[in-house]
Amino acid sequence: MDSREATWYHNLPPNSIQNWGAFKCMFLENFSNDKTLDMLLKELGSLKMEGKEKVKYFNQRFTCILKKIAPNTKPHESITIDYYMSTLLTKIM
């Protein structure tokens, strides 16, 4: 971890990290390189709930990826719902 990452980490509010997925999302929002639309859509489509992950935390990860997509290139709402439902259905079934 370089000094910029360490400074960011140590300046996080206490108890702001609820789980690994949330931390990963927060970290990538601050330090990831810009990804292409295709890469983000693939990431969104391959996202799955982890083990005993709570839906609340999964929603944070899903929203984190969705926020990275520029507003003028976001998939139609029905497609976003399909992505979301397909990831939840694998967990529920």
Which residues lie below 8 Å from residue 74, measured CB to CB, with a gap of 6+? 66, 80
Dump pLDDT digits (tens) for 17-74.
Answer: 888 878 887 787 777 666 777 888 888 888 888 778 888 888 888 888 888 888 888 8
Vertex 48 angle, CA 80 and 19, to 5°: 110
Predicted TM-score (pTM) above 0.85: no
Cβ–Cβ < 8 Å for 43, 49: no
Give every CB contact of residue 68 below 8 A, 6+ residues apart in sequence.
Answer: 29, 35, 40
